[in-house]
Amino acid sequence: MAKILVVDDERSILETLEMFISEKGHQAFKADTGAKGFALFCIHKPEIVILDIRLPDCNGLDILDRILARESLTKVIMITAFQDMETTIQAMKRGASDYIHKPLDADAVEKAITRALCVLEADRETPIPDETANTPDPEVIIGRSEQMRKIFKTIGLLCQNRATVLIQGETGTGKELIARVIHRNSLYDNEPFVVLDCSAVVESLLGSELFGHERGSFTGAVETKKGKIELAGNGTLFLDEIGELPLRLQGNFLGFLQRHEYMRVGGQHQLKSRCRIIAATNRDLSTMVSQGKFRQDLFFRFRVVTIQVPPLKDRLSDIQDLVNHILRKINLELGTEVSKLQEGVIDCLIKQHWAGNVRELENVLLEAVVRAQGSVILLDEIENILSSNQSIHESGLSTYSLSHMEKEHIQHTLAALRWNRTETARQLEISLPTLRSKIRKYGITAPRSMVIR
Protein backbone atom coordinates (compact mmCIF):
# COMPACT_ATOMS: atom_id res chain seq x y z
CA MET A 1 0.00 0.00 0.00
CA ALA A 2 1.27 3.44 -0.94
CA LYS A 3 0.40 6.89 0.36
CA ILE A 4 -0.88 9.16 -2.41
CA LEU A 5 -1.65 12.86 -2.05
CA VAL A 6 -4.00 14.66 -4.45
CA VAL A 7 -3.85 18.47 -4.69
CA ASP A 8 -6.55 20.07 -6.87
CA ASP A 9 -9.08 22.88 -6.45
CA GLU A 10 -11.87 20.94 -8.18
CA ARG A 11 -13.91 19.06 -5.59
CA SER A 12 -15.17 16.49 -8.09
CA ILE A 13 -11.63 15.55 -9.06
CA LEU A 14 -10.56 15.25 -5.42
CA GLU A 15 -13.44 12.94 -4.59
CA THR A 16 -13.10 10.87 -7.74
CA LEU A 17 -9.35 10.36 -7.31
CA GLU A 18 -9.73 9.65 -3.58
CA MET A 19 -12.23 6.88 -4.37
CA PHE A 20 -10.11 5.56 -7.23
CA ILE A 21 -6.94 5.45 -5.10
CA SER A 22 -8.71 3.77 -2.18
CA GLU A 23 -10.22 1.12 -4.45
CA LYS A 24 -6.71 0.27 -5.63
CA GLY A 25 -5.70 -0.43 -2.04
CA HIS A 26 -3.72 2.75 -1.41
CA GLN A 27 -4.09 5.43 1.25
CA ALA A 28 -5.37 8.73 -0.14
CA PHE A 29 -4.96 12.31 1.13
CA LYS A 30 -6.46 15.38 -0.50
CA ALA A 31 -6.09 19.17 -0.46
CA ASP A 32 -7.70 21.97 -2.47
CA THR A 33 -4.87 24.53 -2.19
CA GLY A 34 -1.13 24.48 -2.59
CA ALA A 35 -0.52 25.50 1.02
CA LYS A 36 -2.73 22.73 2.41
CA GLY A 37 -1.23 20.24 0.03
CA PHE A 38 2.35 20.99 1.00
CA ALA A 39 1.44 20.86 4.68
CA LEU A 40 -0.09 17.38 4.22
CA PHE A 41 2.97 16.35 2.25
CA CYS A 42 5.29 17.33 5.10
CA ILE A 43 3.16 15.40 7.61
CA HIS A 44 2.49 12.16 5.73
CA LYS A 45 5.46 12.02 3.29
CA PRO A 46 3.51 10.28 0.50
CA GLU A 47 5.29 8.30 -2.19
CA ILE A 48 3.17 9.88 -4.94
CA VAL A 49 1.67 13.35 -5.34
CA ILE A 50 -0.95 14.10 -7.99
CA LEU A 51 -0.68 17.86 -8.37
CA ASP A 52 -2.73 20.39 -10.32
CA ILE A 53 -0.73 23.15 -11.99
CA ARG A 54 -3.33 25.91 -11.61
CA LEU A 55 -4.18 26.28 -7.92
CA PRO A 56 -6.10 29.16 -6.29
CA ASP A 57 -3.22 30.27 -4.05
CA CYS A 58 -0.10 29.43 -6.09
CA ASN A 59 1.42 27.82 -9.16
CA GLY A 60 1.63 24.05 -8.90
CA LEU A 61 5.11 24.14 -10.43
CA ASP A 62 6.33 26.01 -7.34
CA ILE A 63 4.87 23.29 -5.11
CA LEU A 64 6.60 20.72 -7.33
CA ASP A 65 9.94 22.43 -6.65
CA ARG A 66 9.32 22.49 -2.89
CA ILE A 67 8.29 18.84 -2.78
CA LEU A 68 11.31 17.57 -4.72
CA ALA A 69 13.66 19.77 -2.72
CA ARG A 70 12.40 18.05 0.44
CA GLU A 71 11.96 14.47 -0.84
CA SER A 72 13.80 13.89 -4.12
CA LEU A 73 12.46 10.33 -4.53
CA THR A 74 8.80 11.38 -4.39
CA LYS A 75 7.03 10.92 -7.71
CA VAL A 76 4.92 13.92 -8.72
CA ILE A 77 2.28 13.51 -11.41
CA MET A 78 1.14 16.88 -12.78
CA ILE A 79 -2.42 17.41 -14.04
CA THR A 80 -3.85 20.39 -15.89
CA ALA A 81 -6.69 21.51 -18.10
CA PHE A 82 -4.32 23.76 -20.09
CA GLN A 83 -2.52 21.86 -22.83
CA ASP A 84 0.23 24.35 -23.65
CA MET A 85 3.73 23.34 -24.66
CA GLU A 86 5.67 25.55 -22.25
CA THR A 87 3.92 24.28 -19.12
CA THR A 88 4.49 20.66 -20.10
CA ILE A 89 8.16 21.30 -20.78
CA GLN A 90 8.62 23.16 -17.50
CA ALA A 91 6.91 20.43 -15.48
CA MET A 92 9.07 17.65 -16.91
CA LYS A 93 12.19 19.82 -16.76
CA ARG A 94 11.63 20.47 -13.04
CA GLY A 95 11.35 16.78 -12.27
CA ALA A 96 7.71 15.70 -12.65
CA SER A 97 7.42 11.96 -13.28
CA ASP A 98 4.40 12.34 -15.57
CA TYR A 99 1.97 14.88 -17.00
CA ILE A 100 -1.76 14.17 -17.54
CA HIS A 101 -4.34 16.42 -19.18
CA LYS A 102 -7.90 16.98 -18.01
CA PRO A 103 -10.49 15.61 -18.32
CA LEU A 104 -8.71 12.77 -16.53
CA ASP A 105 -8.78 9.32 -18.04
CA ALA A 106 -8.88 6.50 -15.47
CA ASP A 107 -6.53 4.32 -17.50
CA ALA A 108 -4.00 7.15 -17.88
CA VAL A 109 -4.08 7.87 -14.14
CA GLU A 110 -3.71 4.20 -13.24
CA LYS A 111 -0.84 3.79 -15.69
CA ALA A 112 0.98 6.83 -14.25
CA ILE A 113 0.53 5.62 -10.65
CA THR A 114 1.59 2.06 -11.51
CA ARG A 115 4.69 3.29 -13.29
CA ALA A 116 5.63 5.63 -10.45
CA LEU A 117 5.28 2.82 -7.90
CA CYS A 118 7.32 0.52 -10.14
CA VAL A 119 10.13 3.07 -10.28
CA LEU A 120 10.05 3.53 -6.49
CA GLU A 121 10.10 -0.21 -5.86
CA ALA A 122 12.92 -0.80 -8.34
CA ASP A 123 14.87 2.09 -6.83
CA ARG A 124 14.58 0.60 -3.33
CA GLU A 125 15.37 -2.97 -4.35
CA THR A 126 18.16 -2.40 -6.87
CA PRO A 127 21.65 -2.03 -5.39
CA ILE A 128 24.02 0.63 -6.65
CA PRO A 129 26.94 -0.99 -8.54
CA ASP A 130 30.34 -0.33 -6.98
CA GLU A 131 31.72 1.02 -10.27
CA THR A 132 29.46 4.10 -10.23
CA ALA A 133 31.84 5.90 -7.88
CA ASN A 134 34.62 5.81 -10.46
CA THR A 135 35.18 8.54 -13.04
CA PRO A 136 34.99 6.87 -16.45
CA ASP A 137 38.01 7.02 -18.73
CA PRO A 138 36.74 7.91 -22.23
CA GLU A 139 39.70 6.12 -23.79
CA VAL A 140 39.50 2.68 -22.23
CA ILE A 141 38.47 -0.50 -24.01
CA ILE A 142 35.99 -2.56 -22.01
CA GLY A 143 36.00 -6.34 -22.21
CA ARG A 144 37.08 -9.55 -20.50
CA SER A 145 36.20 -11.99 -23.27
CA GLU A 146 38.91 -14.09 -24.89
CA GLN A 147 38.68 -12.07 -28.13
CA MET A 148 39.27 -8.79 -26.31
CA ARG A 149 42.13 -10.18 -24.21
CA LYS A 150 43.92 -11.09 -27.44
CA ILE A 151 43.43 -7.56 -28.71
CA PHE A 152 44.84 -6.12 -25.49
CA LYS A 153 47.97 -8.26 -25.91
CA THR A 154 48.41 -7.06 -29.49
CA ILE A 155 48.00 -3.44 -28.40
CA GLY A 156 50.66 -3.99 -25.75
CA LEU A 157 53.10 -5.16 -28.40
CA LEU A 158 52.23 -2.33 -30.79
CA CYS A 159 52.84 0.32 -28.13
CA GLN A 160 56.55 -0.50 -28.26
CA ASN A 161 57.05 0.34 -31.96
CA ARG A 162 55.72 2.35 -34.90
CA ALA A 163 54.44 -0.52 -37.04
CA THR A 164 51.61 0.27 -39.44
CA VAL A 165 48.34 -1.22 -38.19
CA LEU A 166 45.10 -2.27 -39.91
CA ILE A 167 42.00 -2.48 -37.71
CA GLN A 168 39.09 -4.39 -39.22
CA GLY A 169 35.58 -4.67 -37.81
CA GLU A 170 31.94 -3.82 -38.29
CA THR A 171 30.64 -0.29 -37.86
CA GLY A 172 30.26 0.60 -34.21
CA THR A 173 32.75 -1.88 -32.79
CA GLY A 174 35.20 0.76 -31.56
CA LYS A 175 37.99 0.80 -34.14
CA GLU A 176 38.94 4.44 -33.55
CA LEU A 177 39.00 3.84 -29.79
CA ILE A 178 41.55 1.04 -30.28
CA ALA A 179 43.69 3.38 -32.38
CA ARG A 180 43.56 6.04 -29.69
CA VAL A 181 44.55 3.53 -27.00
CA ILE A 182 47.54 2.41 -29.06
CA HIS A 183 48.63 6.02 -29.48
CA ARG A 184 48.06 6.97 -25.84
CA ASN A 185 50.18 4.08 -24.58
CA SER A 186 53.04 4.64 -27.04
CA LEU A 187 56.33 6.44 -26.44
CA TYR A 188 55.05 9.40 -28.48
CA ASP A 189 51.69 9.91 -26.75
CA ASN A 190 52.48 13.63 -26.37
CA GLU A 191 52.50 13.98 -30.17
CA PRO A 192 49.30 14.67 -32.19
CA PHE A 193 46.62 12.07 -32.92
CA VAL A 194 45.08 13.14 -36.25
CA VAL A 195 41.98 11.61 -37.83
CA LEU A 196 41.05 11.52 -41.53
CA ASP A 197 37.80 9.83 -42.56
CA CYS A 198 38.41 8.82 -46.17
CA SER A 199 34.68 8.45 -46.78
CA ALA A 200 33.84 11.99 -45.67
CA VAL A 201 36.03 13.91 -48.12
CA VAL A 202 35.25 14.44 -51.78
CA GLU A 203 37.58 12.34 -53.92
CA SER A 204 39.14 15.29 -55.75
CA LEU A 205 40.22 16.86 -52.46
CA LEU A 206 41.34 13.74 -50.63
CA GLY A 207 44.90 14.06 -51.91
CA SER A 208 45.06 17.61 -50.59
CA GLU A 209 43.64 16.52 -47.23
CA LEU A 210 46.20 13.76 -46.96
CA PHE A 211 49.36 15.33 -48.38
CA GLY A 212 48.52 19.06 -48.26
CA HIS A 213 48.81 21.47 -51.18
CA GLU A 214 50.78 24.48 -52.37
CA ARG A 215 49.20 27.84 -53.02
CA GLY A 216 47.78 28.06 -56.55
CA SER A 217 48.05 24.31 -57.19
CA PHE A 218 44.36 24.18 -58.13
CA THR A 219 41.31 26.44 -58.28
CA GLY A 220 40.50 27.53 -54.75
CA ALA A 221 43.97 26.85 -53.36
CA VAL A 222 44.47 30.42 -52.18
CA GLU A 223 47.13 29.50 -49.67
CA THR A 224 49.50 26.67 -48.80
CA LYS A 225 47.85 24.04 -46.62
CA LYS A 226 49.40 21.33 -44.49
CA GLY A 227 47.98 17.84 -44.99
CA LYS A 228 47.03 15.36 -42.28
CA ILE A 229 50.38 13.59 -42.60
CA GLU A 230 52.24 16.81 -41.84
CA LEU A 231 49.84 17.76 -39.03
CA ALA A 232 50.42 14.39 -37.36
CA GLY A 233 54.10 15.22 -36.91
CA ASN A 234 55.75 12.36 -35.05
CA GLY A 235 52.41 11.17 -33.72
CA THR A 236 49.67 9.04 -35.24
CA LEU A 237 47.54 9.47 -38.35
CA PHE A 238 44.34 7.44 -38.11
CA LEU A 239 42.81 6.78 -41.53
CA ASP A 240 39.21 5.69 -41.06
CA GLU A 241 37.47 3.81 -43.88
CA ILE A 242 40.73 3.20 -45.75
CA GLY A 243 38.76 1.15 -48.26
CA GLU A 244 37.38 4.42 -49.64
CA LEU A 245 40.85 5.66 -50.61
CA PRO A 246 40.76 6.15 -54.42
CA LEU A 247 43.00 3.89 -56.50
CA ARG A 248 44.87 6.90 -57.91
CA LEU A 249 45.96 7.86 -54.39
CA GLN A 250 46.71 4.36 -53.19
CA GLY A 251 49.97 4.28 -55.18
CA ASN A 252 51.09 7.63 -53.73
CA PHE A 253 50.23 6.49 -50.24
CA LEU A 254 52.08 3.20 -50.69
CA GLY A 255 55.16 5.21 -51.66
CA PHE A 256 54.85 7.22 -48.48
CA LEU A 257 54.62 4.06 -46.35
CA GLN A 258 57.76 2.66 -48.00
CA ARG A 259 59.93 5.79 -47.99
CA HIS A 260 58.28 8.05 -45.39
CA GLU A 261 58.43 10.80 -48.02
CA TYR A 262 55.68 12.67 -49.83
CA MET A 263 54.96 15.86 -51.75
CA ARG A 264 52.16 18.33 -51.31
CA VAL A 265 49.77 18.66 -54.24
CA GLY A 266 51.48 21.07 -56.65
CA GLY A 267 54.70 20.84 -54.66
CA GLN A 268 58.26 20.41 -55.98
CA HIS A 269 60.08 19.23 -52.87
CA GLN A 270 59.96 15.95 -50.98
CA LEU A 271 58.84 16.20 -47.37
CA LYS A 272 59.58 13.62 -44.69
CA SER A 273 57.36 12.30 -41.94
CA ARG A 274 57.78 9.70 -39.21
CA CYS A 275 54.12 9.61 -38.23
CA ARG A 276 52.59 6.24 -37.55
CA ILE A 277 49.72 5.09 -39.75
CA ILE A 278 46.77 3.23 -38.23
CA ALA A 279 44.04 2.44 -40.75
CA ALA A 280 40.56 1.06 -40.19
CA THR A 281 37.84 -0.39 -42.36
CA ASN A 282 34.53 -2.20 -42.12
CA ARG A 283 35.00 -3.61 -45.63
CA ASP A 284 36.69 -6.82 -46.75
CA LEU A 285 39.89 -5.52 -48.35
CA SER A 286 40.87 -8.94 -49.72
CA THR A 287 37.61 -9.02 -51.71
CA MET A 288 38.26 -5.46 -52.90
CA VAL A 289 41.71 -6.59 -54.07
CA SER A 290 40.20 -9.43 -56.11
CA GLN A 291 37.72 -6.93 -57.60
CA GLY A 292 40.51 -4.55 -58.55
CA LYS A 293 39.27 -1.85 -56.18
CA PHE A 294 42.22 -1.97 -53.77
CA ARG A 295 45.91 -2.39 -54.55
CA GLN A 296 47.29 -5.76 -53.54
CA ASP A 297 50.71 -4.36 -52.58
CA LEU A 298 49.08 -1.77 -50.33
CA PHE A 299 46.87 -4.43 -48.77
CA PHE A 300 49.91 -6.60 -48.01
CA ARG A 301 51.65 -3.59 -46.51
CA PHE A 302 48.70 -3.04 -44.16
CA ARG A 303 48.01 -6.62 -43.18
CA VAL A 304 51.41 -7.13 -41.50
CA VAL A 305 49.73 -6.22 -38.21
CA THR A 306 45.97 -6.66 -38.28
CA ILE A 307 43.51 -6.33 -35.41
CA GLN A 308 40.16 -7.99 -36.04
CA VAL A 309 37.55 -6.44 -33.74
CA PRO A 310 34.72 -8.86 -32.95
CA PRO A 311 31.08 -7.74 -33.25
CA LEU A 312 29.23 -7.31 -29.98
CA LYS A 313 27.08 -10.39 -30.64
CA ASP A 314 30.26 -12.48 -30.44
CA ARG A 315 31.27 -11.15 -27.03
CA LEU A 316 28.01 -10.92 -25.12
CA SER A 317 29.84 -11.83 -21.91
CA ASP A 318 31.18 -8.25 -21.97
CA ILE A 319 27.69 -6.69 -21.87
CA GLN A 320 27.62 -6.17 -18.10
CA ASP A 321 30.96 -4.38 -18.00
CA LEU A 322 30.10 -2.33 -21.08
CA VAL A 323 26.77 -1.23 -19.60
CA ASN A 324 28.36 -0.15 -16.32
CA HIS A 325 31.04 1.84 -18.15
CA ILE A 326 28.64 3.44 -20.63
CA LEU A 327 26.24 4.47 -17.85
CA ARG A 328 29.05 6.16 -15.93
CA LYS A 329 30.07 8.02 -19.08
CA ILE A 330 26.51 9.10 -19.88
CA ASN A 331 25.88 10.30 -16.33
CA LEU A 332 29.07 12.34 -16.42
CA GLU A 333 28.13 13.94 -19.75
CA LEU A 334 24.46 14.62 -18.90
CA GLY A 335 24.82 15.39 -15.20
CA THR A 336 22.40 12.57 -14.37
CA GLU A 337 22.54 9.89 -11.66
CA VAL A 338 20.97 6.89 -13.35
CA SER A 339 23.19 4.07 -12.17
CA LYS A 340 20.84 1.19 -11.30
CA LEU A 341 19.45 -1.56 -13.51
CA GLN A 342 16.26 -3.38 -12.65
CA GLU A 343 16.59 -7.16 -12.46
CA GLY A 344 16.30 -8.66 -15.91
CA VAL A 345 17.78 -5.72 -17.85
CA ILE A 346 21.17 -7.34 -18.45
CA ASP A 347 19.57 -10.64 -19.50
CA CYS A 348 17.37 -8.72 -21.93
CA LEU A 349 20.39 -6.92 -23.43
CA ILE A 350 22.35 -10.16 -23.77
CA LYS A 351 19.56 -11.65 -25.90
CA GLN A 352 19.85 -8.91 -28.52
CA HIS A 353 21.63 -9.30 -31.87
CA TRP A 354 23.21 -5.80 -31.79
CA ALA A 355 23.58 -5.12 -35.50
CA GLY A 356 24.95 -1.68 -34.59
CA ASN A 357 27.37 -3.15 -32.03
CA VAL A 358 28.63 -1.09 -29.06
CA ARG A 359 27.44 2.15 -30.67
CA GLU A 360 23.88 0.81 -30.76
CA LEU A 361 24.15 -0.30 -27.13
CA GLU A 362 25.28 3.21 -26.19
CA ASN A 363 22.31 4.74 -28.01
CA VAL A 364 19.85 2.42 -26.25
CA LEU A 365 21.31 3.25 -22.83
CA LEU A 366 21.37 6.96 -23.62
CA GLU A 367 17.65 6.91 -24.45
CA ALA A 368 16.94 4.86 -21.32
CA VAL A 369 18.78 7.38 -19.13
CA VAL A 370 16.94 10.31 -20.69
CA ARG A 371 13.60 8.57 -20.11
CA ALA A 372 14.43 7.35 -16.58
CA GLN A 373 12.25 8.81 -13.80
CA GLY A 374 14.68 7.99 -11.03
CA SER A 375 18.09 6.43 -10.58
CA VAL A 376 17.05 3.08 -12.02
CA ILE A 377 16.52 1.87 -15.59
CA LEU A 378 13.39 -0.28 -15.75
CA LEU A 379 13.17 -3.53 -17.69
CA ASP A 380 10.00 -2.45 -19.47
CA GLU A 381 11.66 0.79 -20.59
CA ILE A 382 14.55 -1.14 -22.14
CA GLU A 383 12.09 -3.54 -23.78
CA ASN A 384 10.10 -0.62 -25.20
CA ILE A 385 13.23 1.00 -26.65
CA LEU A 386 14.45 -2.27 -28.15
CA SER A 387 10.99 -3.00 -29.54
CA SER A 388 10.87 0.44 -31.12
CA ASN A 389 14.30 -0.11 -32.66
CA GLN A 390 13.20 -3.49 -33.97
CA SER A 391 10.14 -1.92 -35.57
CA ILE A 392 12.40 0.57 -37.31
CA HIS A 393 14.60 -2.26 -38.58
CA GLU A 394 11.59 -4.17 -39.89
CA SER A 395 10.16 -1.11 -41.63
CA GLY A 396 13.38 -0.67 -43.59
CA LEU A 397 14.58 2.41 -41.73
CA SER A 398 17.40 0.68 -39.89
CA THR A 399 21.13 1.34 -39.94
CA TYR A 400 21.12 -0.84 -43.04
CA SER A 401 19.19 1.82 -44.96
CA LEU A 402 20.52 5.01 -43.42
CA SER A 403 22.22 5.77 -46.73
CA HIS A 404 18.81 5.55 -48.43
CA MET A 405 17.39 8.01 -45.91
CA GLU A 406 20.34 10.35 -46.42
CA LYS A 407 19.96 10.18 -50.20
CA GLU A 408 16.26 11.05 -50.02
CA HIS A 409 16.94 13.92 -47.60
CA ILE A 410 19.61 15.39 -49.89
CA GLN A 411 17.36 15.01 -52.95
CA HIS A 412 14.46 16.71 -51.17
CA THR A 413 16.62 19.61 -49.98
CA LEU A 414 18.20 20.11 -53.40
CA ALA A 415 14.77 20.17 -55.04
CA ALA A 416 13.36 22.59 -52.46
CA LEU A 417 16.29 24.97 -53.04
CA ARG A 418 16.19 24.57 -56.83
CA TRP A 419 19.57 22.83 -56.85
CA ASN A 420 21.46 25.69 -55.25
CA ARG A 421 24.29 23.54 -53.91
CA THR A 422 25.82 26.23 -51.74
CA GLU A 423 22.53 26.89 -49.94
CA THR A 424 21.78 23.16 -49.75
CA ALA A 425 25.12 22.49 -48.05
CA ARG A 426 24.37 25.27 -45.57
CA GLN A 427 20.91 23.87 -44.82
CA LEU A 428 22.31 20.35 -44.37
CA GLU A 429 25.15 21.72 -42.21
CA ILE A 430 27.85 20.04 -44.30
CA SER A 431 30.64 21.43 -46.45
CA LEU A 432 30.11 22.01 -50.18
CA PRO A 433 32.78 19.41 -51.11
CA THR A 434 31.03 16.86 -48.87
CA LEU A 435 27.70 17.60 -50.58
CA ARG A 436 29.27 17.14 -54.02
CA SER A 437 30.80 13.85 -52.88
CA LYS A 438 27.44 12.56 -51.65
CA ILE A 439 25.70 13.64 -54.86
CA ARG A 440 28.20 11.53 -56.82
CA LYS A 441 28.03 8.67 -54.29
CA TYR A 442 24.25 8.37 -54.54
CA GLY A 443 24.05 9.12 -58.26
CA ILE A 444 21.75 12.10 -57.70
CA THR A 445 21.02 14.00 -60.89
CA ALA A 446 19.28 17.31 -61.48
CA PRO A 447 16.26 17.70 -63.78
CA ARG A 448 17.31 18.80 -67.27
CA SER A 449 15.46 22.11 -66.89
CA MET A 450 17.19 22.96 -63.61
CA VAL A 451 20.02 25.50 -63.50
CA ILE A 452 22.66 24.13 -61.15
CA ARG A 453 24.44 26.62 -58.93
Please give the pLDDT value at position 319: 95
Span 204-208, mean pLDDT? 85
311 — pLDDT class (breaks 50, 70, 90): very high
Q: pLDDT tens digit string along 224-237?
A: 889 999 999 999 99
Alpha carbon 279 to chain centroid, angstroms: 23
Which position has the higher pLDDT, 266 or 448? 266
Share of the chain above pLDDT 90, in %: 57
Span 158-180, mean pLDDT? 93
130 — pLDDT class (breaks 50, 70, 90): low
Q: Is the pLDDT reported for residue 396 higher than 60? A: no
How far are the Cα atoms of 282, 294, 301, 437 from residue 254, in angstroms, in the given order? 20, 12, 8, 24
* Whole-number average pLDDT of the chain: 87
Cα gap 103→77, rounded to integer Å: 15
Cα gap 101→104, rounded to integer Å: 6
Other beta carbons within 10 angstroms of residue 427's beta carbon come to 14
Contact 425, 431 (CB under 8 A): yes
How far are the Cα atoms of 9, 33, 76, 174, 452 from residue 358, in angstroms, in the given order? 50, 50, 35, 7, 41
The region of weakest confidence among 28-32, 414-418, 421-425 is 414-418
Tell me which residue of 282, 278, 297 sits closest to 238, measured CA to CA.
Answer: 278
- Tell me how many degrees the CA angle 24-25-30 measures, rounded to the nearest 5: 85
Domains of the chain, CATH where assigned: 3-125 (3.40.50.2300), 146-308 (3.40.50.300), 315-395 (1.10.8.60), 400-442 (1.10.10)
Which position has the higher pLDDT, 218 or 54? 54
The region of weakest confidence among 22-36, 111-125, 340-354, 422-436 is 422-436
3-state secondary structure 59-115: EHHHHHHHHHHHCCCCEEEEEECCCCHHHHHHHHHCCCCEEEECCCCHHHHHHHHHH
Question: Does the predicted TM-score (pTM) go above 0.85?
Answer: no
In total, the chain counts a number of residues equal to 453
Which position has the higher pLDDT, 426 or 253? 253
State whether residue 235 is helix, strand or coil: coil
Span 290-298, mean pLDDT? 94
State whether residue 226 is helix, strand or coil: strand
398 — pLDDT class (breaks 50, 70, 90): very low
